[in-house]
Amino acid sequence: MIEAMGATTERAAPFPLPQGHEEVICSLFEGDFHLGLAALINSIVRRGFCGLFWIGCRGVLPPWTAKLKRRDDGLFEVGNALLGFEFLKTDRHFGQYKSTFLSTVFDRGITRRYLWYFDPDITLRCAWAFIQMWVRHGVSLCEDTNFRMMHSRHPLRCAWVELARTDGWGEPRLLSERYFNSGFVGMDVAQRSFLDTWIAAIQLANGSGVTLNQFQKGSREQVFYTVDQDTMNIAVMYADVPFSTMGPDAMGFAPGGFAMLHGVAKPKSWRKKFLRSALNGVPPSPGDKHFIACLDGPIFPYPPGKVRRMKFSAALAALIGRFYRRG
């Protein structure tokens, strides 16, 4: 049992704690987000990842795990990678729990060197070798889509500094001009203190009225709105670590990207009715198309016939979108 930030994490007996992996990728999911997780894992394995996926989940194992080969140590084989799960009991919204979960992966020796977090609505487009190269230059982050610029004297950033100063933090090390998306982060064990600062920023938000289960609070005029991202951006200002960052194109939020696609829009790709959406003027997004392309192995979250129907539906919806789209 592990106690962190007022939440309890319980490691399920069927998954003994792995130790000493060079490269570990984490994600958190509950409910039908296991479908996005399957596409995420497929996309990363296909691009050359051979390390460990260590996934925090609330609820039960994804049904598609029943088709995977399981080793004597309890881990599943996924291509040349390994996959394990940790069953979580926490009152926190997963957005507020990312930093704590990642810190326990370092603290318990699951990874000895590199650690990444991906939201389960992301798919990877670039070679894994690029991600490996990127993390060697500092904490890896991508700019956000809706709020990519936040000037150093932005009133919300100034409010964060005032709160931190009142809490005894002192002055920020870096007054960034950019605002980053919390759906992806990569780091070396040498930058582990970034997570400590992120956890402290979440506690700062909780002390300012953000409840444990909140993802968003009020509207963007609030000092804390999208809690995981606001607090992570505070950590960028205060953590004494190097950063290596990319623009919004890195997540497919702007043209010209090659690294990832982040499906932040609603409905999620696995819930979307592609033909109905196209007839309403919204064709499949690049993220929708890549999600479908990542459904046929090494994890198979749907029967083959279902995948074929989804591909046909998306292709027809894309054709409709060439002639009719909203706006």
At 49-75, the pLDDT tens digits run 999 999 999 999 999 999 999 999 999
Q: Which residues contact 162 (CB under 8 A, 6 or more apart)?
A: none
250, 273, 292: which is the final residue of a domain?
A: 250
Q: Could you tell me the two tokens for 49? A: 């990842």
Same domain, 275 and 301: yes
pLDDT tens string 92-150: 889 999 999 999 999 999 999 999 999 999 999 999 999 999 999 999 999 998 877 89
pTM value is 0.93
Q: For residue 266, give Cα distances in angstroms to 101, 112, 269, 275.
A: 26, 37, 8, 15
Same domain, 79 and 33: yes
Residue 142 DSSP SS3? strand
> Could you tell me what percent of the chain has a pLDDT over 90?
82
Tell me the residue range of the domain where 17 lies.
2-250
| Share of the chain residues as helix, strand and coil, in percent rounded to the nearest 5 | 35, 20, 40
Same domain, 95 and 214: yes
Number of structural domains found in the chain: 2
Please give the helix or strand (H or E) that residue 112 lies within, else none: strand 111-118
Residue 274 DSSP SS3? helix
23, pLDDT greater than 80: yes
CB 152 within 8 A of CB 61: no
6, pLDDT greater than 70: no
217, pLDDT greater than 90: no
Better pLDDT: 225 or 294: 294
Q: Closest Cα partner for 11 from 79, 125, 108?
A: 108
The mean pLDDT value of the chain amounts to 92
Q: Closest Cα partner for 167 from 217, 210, 201?
A: 201
Same domain, 303 and 233: no
pLDDT bin (cut points 50, 70, 90) of residue 223 is confident
3, pLDDT greater than 50: no
Residue 277 lies in a domain: yes
Same domain, 226 and 273: no
Q: Could you tell me the two tokens for 182? A: 């919390």
186, pLDDT greater than 80: yes
Would you state the pLDDT for residue 235?
97
